[in-house]
Amino acid sequence: TEWNVSLWGKRRAFTEHVEKLAELVSAKTNGEFTLNISYGGLSKNTENLDGISIGAFEMAQFCAGYHADKNPSITVLELPFLGVSTLEQEWDVSMAVYNHPATQADLGRWNATLLMPSPLPQYNIAGVGTPPETLADFEGLTVRATGGIGEALTMIGAVPTSVTSEEARQALDSGIVKSIAFAPHAHMSFGITEAAKWWSTNLNPGTVNCPIVVNTDALNALSDAERDALMSSIGEARQHYIDFYENETMAKWWPLLEEKGIQQISYNEERLAEFREKAAGPVAQKWIEENTARGLPAQELYDLVVSTLSGS
């Protein structure tokens, strides 16, 4: 069996678990079952779910926030201030939501089965101009941020402005925005660190959720041995991904901040708690209301996230 896998961009920390999965599956089946990874050749990233639904390819990655209406259930994982602090936690809470029947039904409309997340650390903000030393300084600051993170930042007076990740650097250089919210690997790969003067070390407003899905029919059509090879490799892929992000990406991140002379700004715990209080509750409440109206057990999904995180 040969599966086509639709990713985008280039090979990076964000895709290491899929690369590892491909390697393991092929080894375990003596090359009988291979994953043929394509970076951008098979689909546009915002249409990966459509491609899965059509059956054009068998496995794909996408981010929930690209198109909230396609996958409302998993956007719960992109709410601000959920309190995730490690990649392991991010993985576990994602899997808890992925395994919920409502989520499975939501993605089932696309003939998709959620396989695993691509956990990212908390977003933080890098920017130019006067650094926002206190949360009050965020008043009027233009920031490139999307989804729940953007909404949270609105609560402290920041002005979210929409540009794509590809145009983020350009927008920063040309003054369209003064700051960019990204995970560290994206700050590096989109060149934000080349231009930024400061970085918010501990704002931690939230992150994005980018699952790996497979076409359900294709999954069911696998032989027992093949399915076993795939499912039994997820644990090792997870470990590889997390090690890679921590040992390769984050190991480069801190020295890079020093090397580029980027000022690291920390906020005191008291003010952060204030921010969380201001933003987390209202944004989550709004999410629950909107998605209950869609017919999702929104409160239940939100509670599941909270309880999973407090249990771990």
Partner 1 sequence: MTPTEIGIWVSMGMLVLVVLGMRVAFAAALAGLVGLVWIFWAKKGYDPDQFWWALTVATKTAGQVPHSKIASQALSLIPTFILIGYLAYHAGFTRALFDAAKKWVGWVPGGMAVATVFATAGFSAVSGASVATSAVFARIAIPEMQANGYDKRFAAGVVAAAGTLASLIPPSAILVIYAIIVEQDVGRLLLAGFIPGVFSALVYGAIIIGLALAIPSFGPPLRGFTWGERFRALPGALPILFVVFIIIVFIYNPFGGDAWGTPTEGGAIGAFVVFLMAVWRGMRWRAFRDALLETARLSVMIFSIIWGVLIYVRFLGFADLPGVFSDWITSLEMSPMLILVMILLAYAVLGMFMDAIGMLLLTLPVVYPAVMALNGGESVSAEMSTFGMSGPMCAIWFGILVVKMAEFCLITPPIGLNCFVVAGVRPDLSVQDVFKGVTPFFIADALTIALLVAFPAIVLWLPSLA
Partner 2 sequence: MAMKAAVREDGSLLSRLDRALYRIEGAFGLISGLAVFGLMLLAVYSVGGRNFFNAPVRGYVDWIEVTMPLIAFMGISFAQRDGGHIRMDILVGRLRGRALWAAEFVSTLAILVLIVLLIWGSWAHFGRSFDWNAPLYSRDSTIDIKLPIWPAKLLAPVAFSVMALRLLLQLWGYGRAFLTGDAVAVPLIEDVATIAAREAEAVSGAEDKS
Where on the chain is the footprint of partner 2 (CB under 8 A)?
46, 50, 53-54, 65-70, 140, 142, 146-147, 150, 159-164, 176, 290, 293-295
State yes or no: residue 68 binds partner 1 (CB under 8 A): no
- Nearer residue to partner 2 within complex by CB, 3 or 110: 110
Does position 5 interact with partner 1 (CB under 8 A)? The reply is: no
Closest distance of CB 222 from partner 2, Å: 25
Which of partner 2, partner 1, none does 40 bind, CB closer than 5 to 8 A by kind? partner 1
- Residue 164's CB is within 10 A of a number of other CB atoms, namely 10
Q: Is 216 in contact with 113 (CB distance < 8 Å)?
A: yes
Contact between 187 and partner 1 by CB under 8 A: the answer reads no
By CB under 8 A, the count of residues binding partner 1 is 30
- Supply the minimum distance, in Å, between the C-beta of residue 270 and partner 1: 33
Phi, psi (degrees; rounded to nearest 5) at 116: -165, 160
Cα separations in angstroms, 100 against 216, 296, 311: 16, 11, 17
Cα–Cα distance measured from residue 49 to residue 44, given in angstroms and rounded to the nearest whole number: 10
Of 13, 25, 63, 171, the one binding partner 1 (CB under 8 A) is 171
Q: 268-297 burial string, b = 16+ CB within 10 Å, else e?
A: eeeebeebbeebbeebbeebbeebeeeebb
Who contacts 18 (Cβ-Cβ below 8 Å, separation ≥6)? 5, 7, 35, 37, 59, 61, 212, 237
3 touches partner 1 by CB under 8 A? no
Specify the residue, 68 or 256, whose C-beta has the smaller distance to partner 2: 68
Q: Which residues bind partner 1 (CB under 8 A)?
A: 2, 4, 10, 36, 38, 40-44, 46-47, 50-51, 54-56, 128, 164, 166-167, 169-171, 173-176, 190-191
